[in-house]
Amino acid sequence: MRKTQKKQAGEFMELLARAHEAVGKAVSTGKNYIAMELLEQCQEGAIQLGELVEKAEGEGCGMIPLLEDYCELVYQIYEEVRQGQGASADRISEDLQQSLIKIEKYLRDNIKTRTEIVFLPYKASMWDSLESVWKAAEEDPDCDAHVIPIPYFDKNPDGSLREAHYEGDLYPEYVPVTDYNDYNFDARRPDMIYIHNPYDECNHVTSVHPFFYSKNLKKYTDNLIYIPYFILAEPDPENEESVEGVKNFCTVPGVFYADKVVVQSEVMRQAYIKALISETGEESRSIWEKKIFGIGSPKIDKVLNTKKEELKIPEEWLQIIKKPDGSWKKIIFYNTSVAALLKYEEKMLEKMEHVFGVFKGNQEKMTLWWRPHPLIKATIESMRPQLWQKYQKIVKRYKAEGWGIYDDSADMDRAVVISDAYYGDPSSIVPLYGETGKLAMIQNVDIICDT
């Protein structure tokens, strides 16, 4: 039985217990017509409780016969009161309560509580921010975990929704996926909902379907939990400028509407709290201190627990990675970000072409593993449409030449685990890459020289 269902069953029994007292009082004061109305309500309540139990536990549940006995007792007492047989008020209340105690004991001792948890990722490449939590829920015998990838949209420059995307077929084979059309949130009301997109309507480039905005999901659960899909460089909570640097990540709808927010560290927790207090006032401190948890990121769990030998690498990529003797070249994970393209525009494209020229010339010793940010297409089309054609030409030429890897798959962690070093733009991947202990180098758009 679900936790919410068990709570509902308990509430039914509390109502019945109060009704029993009222029945006794009505009989003792000679108001039999009131007692009869209350007994009818007791009968109806027991029937509804039985329907709830059957739905959750099946017809064979041992609580059903106890409810049937209760209904029979209520009927007998009703007849006694109706016929004015002078039934004792104390005896009526006692008999009803003893029958109810048996039902309560069975509910407490024999019906296990099951927790239903829903995970709502939107981009498959960001699933790693929820995966370790899902695995723990999946392994819990008293938990029902549902992974429900949700649709999202690109946005037009005016903020209207454009192309729809759904990536439910891109998740790992071991992750059972539920179609979002097949889960009735209103009927099931999950005990917990996990999200990793906090922006609701505030993202200028993409938007999850409005039904899945955090402010709407709050209607369907008592425990909405937000875990960021990114890792940030650790701030200094005592430095105002450092705290200001993470403020845009803190003051988003998902943080405000969530019941719990899980961030990567205690240091990040303190920065979140300070940033939120600066936005909402010192009187809100206790709210954020109770809501924000700095217990670590599942993204780090995923990277540190993934073994290189377990990863699948396409054969065409292996041909680029391997030397003639079968050994591997050094692999450089090249990451290009949305922010850099927006900031530097044409200059960034020139830098990328220069990088490709350098690595093409050293392809016998090194393999460039280029993984552009998955939202580059949607962002550039929406915010810098004049760049899109030029960017596309660069991608097309790089892929056609075939000396490097172009990775637009949903599995970002594979590139982190397999590569020997990181090179590219500042991004949330950099602090994550640092957790591996491998070298991370940041490219400078202003420097173009031979290496």
Domain boundary assignment for the chain: 3-110, 115-301, 311-442
Distance CA 323, CA 446 (A): 33
List C-alpha distances in Å: 435 to 270, 300, 440. 21, 7, 10
| 3-110 and 115-301, same CATH topology | no
Alpha carbon distances (Å) from 251 to 121, 159, 275, 294, 372: 20, 20, 8, 17, 27
Over the chain (451 residues), the average pLDDT of each successive run of 10 is: 87 93 91 93 94 88 94 94 80 92 93 93 95 96 96 89 93 96 94 96 92 97 96 91 92 97 96 95 96 95 90 95 95 95 94 96 96 89 88 96 96 95 94 94 85 48
State CA 222 to chain mean position distance. 14
What's residue 90's pLDDT? 87
How far is the C-alpha of 92 from the C-alpha of 95, rounded, in Å?
Answer: 5
Measured in degrees and rounded to the nearest 5, phi and psi for residue 49 equal -65, -40
Show the DSSP H helices in 58-195 as ranges.
63-82, 89-110, 131-139, 185-188
What is the pLDDT, as a whole number, of residue 4?
Answer: 82
What is the structure's pLDDT at 341? 93
In CATH terms, 3-110 corresponds, of 1.20.58.1610, 1.20.140.10, 1.20.120.660, 3.90.950.10, to 1.20.120.660
| 3-class secondary structure, 231 | coil
**Strands 192-195 and 206-208, sheet pairing:** unpaired
Q: CA-CA distance, 439 to 436, in Å (whole number)?
A: 9
pLDDT of residue 86: 64
Whether 263 and 298 have beta carbons less than 8 Å apart is answered as: no
Q: CB of 260 within 8 A of CB of 222?
A: no
The whole-angstrom separation of Cα 364 and Cα 403 is: 9
User: CB within 8 A of 49, min separation 6: which ones?
Assistant: 9, 12, 13, 67
Q: What's residue 345's pLDDT?
A: 94
CATH code of domain 115-301: 3.40.50
Would you state the pLDDT for residue 198?
96
Angle subtended by helix axes 266-280 and 240-250, to nearest 10: 80
Residues 131/136/137/142 CA torsion (nearest 10 deg) = 170
**Residue of 198, 321, 216 whose CA lies nearest to 262:** 198
Q: Which residues pair with 118 in a beta bridge?
A: 146, 193
Residues 6+ apart with CB under 8 A from 366: 329, 330, 331, 332, 359
Q: Which fold has domain 311-442?
A: Rossmann fold (3.40.50)
Q: How far apart are CA 158 and CA 282, in angstroms?
A: 36
- Give the pLDDT confidence score for residue 450 in this predicted structure: 55
Closest Cα to residue 118, out of 141, 139, 152, 149? 149
